[in-house]
């Protein structure tokens, strides 16, 4: 295991999730439900599964598409989503 990759990934995802709609949804669920442990486990499992899907998809794509093309495509997609969110 690469500890540097682990820490950078953790810090990046943690900072990106602060104030994100996912965190706000979890907050809303915890306000409405008395079983906060269930909310925590449900939210954690959902984030783990979505991360697993992204890792599997990234691994599969990297076999067929060069890494540089993937990076540029992801950057453009990220920018396009940001612009779309600003417009709508």
**Domain total for the chain?**
1
Q: How far is CA 29 from CA 34, 35, 54, 82, 87, in A?
A: 9, 10, 25, 26, 29
What per-residue confidence (pLDDT) applies to 83?
94
Q: For residue 79, give both structure tokens.
A: 């920018």
Q: Residue 79: is its pLDDT beyond 90?
A: yes
The whole domain housing 68 covers 3-87
pLDDT single digits (tens) 26-75: 999 999 988 999 999 999 999 999 999 999 998 999 999 999 999 999 89
């Amino acid at each position: 295991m690469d500890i540097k990759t682990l820490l950078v990934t953790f810090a990046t995802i943690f900072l990106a999730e602060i104030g994100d709609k996912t965190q706000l949804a979890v907050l809303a669920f915890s306000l409405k439900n008395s079983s906060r442990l269930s909310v925590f486990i449900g939210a954690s499992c959902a984030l783990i599964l979505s991360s697993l899907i992204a890792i599997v998809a990234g691994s599969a794509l990297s076999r067929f598409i060069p890494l540089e093309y993937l990076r540029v495509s992801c950057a453009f997609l990220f920018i396009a989503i940001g612009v779309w969110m600003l417009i709508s």
